[in-house]
Amino acid sequence: MSDLDELYQEVILDHYRRPRNHGVLEGANRSAEGYNPLCGDRLVVYLKVENDVVTDVSFEGSGCAISQASASVMTSALKGKKRDQVQALFEKFRSVVSGEGGDEAAAALGEMGAMAGVSQFPTRVKCATLAWHAALAAMDDTQTRTPAVSTEP
Ligand code: ZN
């Protein structure tokens, strides 16, 4: 195992054990579910979007370390981003986890680059991208709806 692999492993385990932005988001106006039947990963991404900008984000769910850590890392990266910036970031992330990006592209992604090792396991790529698909679906979820969090008992 190289030093880089070890560092990446640490980032993934850290986010898996102590997920950031975890739980239902109060005041969320968008949400979408993601399900990866290949692995059994399930998650829901909650967004608060104002004027096309993600002002807050959270997720909850269960599944393998890759899916949960990737969701945690993603939520840390989305705040303050517009729809097209989220899409652009996802394209970069997807190229890294599918092995097309190379080490340099992975390094440029910061903690998100820690998922680069997934490229050696094609079946796990869906685990790593699950949260992103849910986040993009949530951004496109433009129907007016009551916030995902109900204050009713
Ligand atoms: Zn998985």
pLDDT at 149 over 60: no
Q: Distance of alpha carbon 113 from its chain centroid, rounded?
A: 12
For ligand 1, the distance from its centroid to the CA atom of residue 38, given in whole angstroms, is 8
Q: Is the residue at 131 inside a domain?
A: yes
For ligand 1, the distance from its centroid to the CA atom of residue 132, given in whole angstroms, is 13
Is 152 strand, coil or helix? coil
- Structural domain that includes position 134: 3-140
Q: Is the residue at 54 inside a domain?
A: yes
For ligand 1, the distance from its centroid to the CA atom of residue 65, given in whole angstroms, is 7
Please report the beta strands in the chain, taking only residues with DSSP state E, as ranges in sequence order.
30-36, 41-50, 53-62
The per-residue b/e assignment along 47-73, b for 16 or more CB within 10 angstroms, e otherwise, is: bbbeeeebebbbbbbebbebbbbbbbb
Q: Is the residue at 124 inside a domain?
A: yes
For ligand 1, the distance from its centroid to the CA atom of residue 33, given in whole angstroms, is 15
User: Structurally, how many domains does the chain consist of?
Assistant: 1
Using pLDDT thresholds of 50, 70 and 90, give the confidence band for residue 146: very low
**CATH assignment at residue 81:** 3.90.1010.10
CA–CA dist 3, 42 (Å, integer): 31
Check if the beta carbon of residue 70 is closer than 8 Å to that of residue 131. yes
Summarised one tens digit per residue, pLDDT across range 59-105 is 999 999 999 999 999 999 999 999 999 999 999 999 999 999 888 99
Write the Ramachandran bin of 99: left for phi over 0, alpha for psi from -120 to 50, otherwise beta.
left
